[in-house]
Amino acid sequence: MQRGEVWWVNFDPSQGMEIQKCRPAVILTVNALNKARGTVVVVPLSTSAKPRPPIVVPLDSAGAGSVAVCDQLCAADKKRFGKKLCDLSAADLATLTESMKIVLGLM
């Protein structure tokens, strides 16, 4: 599992307004942590949400109509992961990283 990869992740069971169901998600944690820890920080993807940067960001390299739902950032246990789908382009990963900085107040 590497930063910038897109994997199927099962987000159920969820509670309240948390993202639900099995869906693609982008890995954001650095590779050293992904290897050493049992959890991985991800941003879930959706095809039904409308783009609203910086909160909902289009990611063309993740598939047609895919958007990252940046306010649903979460740690997911590796047991929740299914198959790897693809790698984000460098440009999409940079866009996502900048959006996460804004959403988390790191700028």
Question: Domains of the chain by range and CATH?
Answer: 5-103 (2.30.30.110)
Chain segment 45-78, per-residue pLDDT in tens: 999 999 999 999 999 999 989 999 999 999 999 9
Q: Which pLDDT score is estimated for 107? A: 80
**Percentage of the residues of the chain whose pLDDT score is greater than 90:** 94
Distance CA 65, CA 17 (A): 22
**For the chain, percent of residues with pLDDT exceeding 70:** 100
Average pLDDT over every residue of 12-37:
95
DSSP 21-36: SEEEEEE-S-HHHHHH
Q: Is the pTM of this model over 0.85?
A: yes
pLDDT of residue 73: 97
Residue type, 47: T
